[in-house]
Structure 1
Amino acid sequence: MSLPVYDWGTAPAHLMTRRQLRGAGLRPGGHDPVAILRCRACHARPARTCIRPAWLYDARLAVPKRTPTLRQEEALDRAMAARQTCQGCGIRQPHCLPRHDRRCAGCAAGDLAVAA
């Protein structure tokens, strides 16, 4: 059995994408998609096969998102600290550093100045 297909802007209000569910504080809760949403570009071309379809879930069957435990939050913080801490100066940056050397822009520019 195939899923019903809706064009952009024509789906019923209770059908949401995963991103919309997440924004509403919900998750699918193990339920499969109930419909497909055609992208905005394909809306103008009805005969075209959609290249970026989105799965739609029934919000009435969705359940609240789980809240992480304190230990899970601590583990996530440690993981982010490893990605954000400069290997050169040891300062934690507000963003993830490049994976190839894990150094901030100041430390990377300092090495370039020394090499020149």
Structure 2
Amino acid sequence: MSAPRFWDPEGTKFGVPTYPWRLAPDGLATRAQLRAAGLRPGGQEIAAQILWRSRRARGGIRAAYLYRIDLAKPVRPMTPAKRAALAKANTARRTCPGCGRDAGYVIPTSLGICATCPPWLAA
């Protein structure tokens, strides 16, 4: 039996160690996995990648980059200024430009106004 299509742990074929879906070694994690653990890559280079076939991707192949967990750093804490800026930005996304009210949800950019405003206000 031959090796899986994306099996290249030495990095000779793809330039970086490459593994197929769900076959990456322990000690490596994606950005999302690091974030779930309260970590960030912290400026380190990509240690490896996972490749898999996908009908959604333009070239038919998708990639997820892996980072070493032992070199990851803790996530920086949210400062009061960042928290206030984030709250202000989220409020702006919920405020309807047509009627000026807080819609209680993020207004879709495709509509441009809240659901209760008349359609002619969208223009």
Same fold (TM over 0.5): yes
Cα-to-partner distance string for 1:19-45 (whole Å, 9 max, x where unaligned): 111111110001011001112x37xxx
Pairs within 5 Å for 1:52-91:
52-91=62-101
The alignment of Structure 1 onto Structure 2 pairs a total of residues equal to 103
How far the C-alpha of 1:95 sits from its partner, in A, is 2.8
Structure 1 or 2: more helix by fraction = 1
Q: CA deviation at 1:91?
A: 2.6
Which structure: greater strand fraction?
A: 2
Matched residues, percent identical? 42
- Does the alignment pair 1:30 with 2:40? no
Which amino acid is the alignment partner of residue 101 of structure 2? I
Structure 1 portions without partners, runs of 5+? 43-48
TM-superposed CA distance for 1:88, in Å, is: 3.0
**Aligned-pair CA distance for 1:102:** 3.9
Q: Distance in 2 between matches of 1:51 and 1:94?
A: 39
Give the Cα–Cα distance (whole angstroms) in 2 for the partners of residues 65 and 105 of structure 1.
38
Q: Any idea what the Cα deviations from partners look like across 1:59-83, whole Å, max 9, x if unmatched? A: 1111111112101110111111111
SS in 1 for 2:116: helix
The answer on whether the counterparts of 1:28 and 1:62 sit within 8 Å (CA) in structure 2 is yes
The structure-2 alpha-carbon separation of the partners of 1:50 and 1:35, relative to structure 1 and needing over 3 Å to count, comes to farther
RMSD over aligned CA atoms reads 2.3
Corresponding position: 1:96 with 2:106: yes
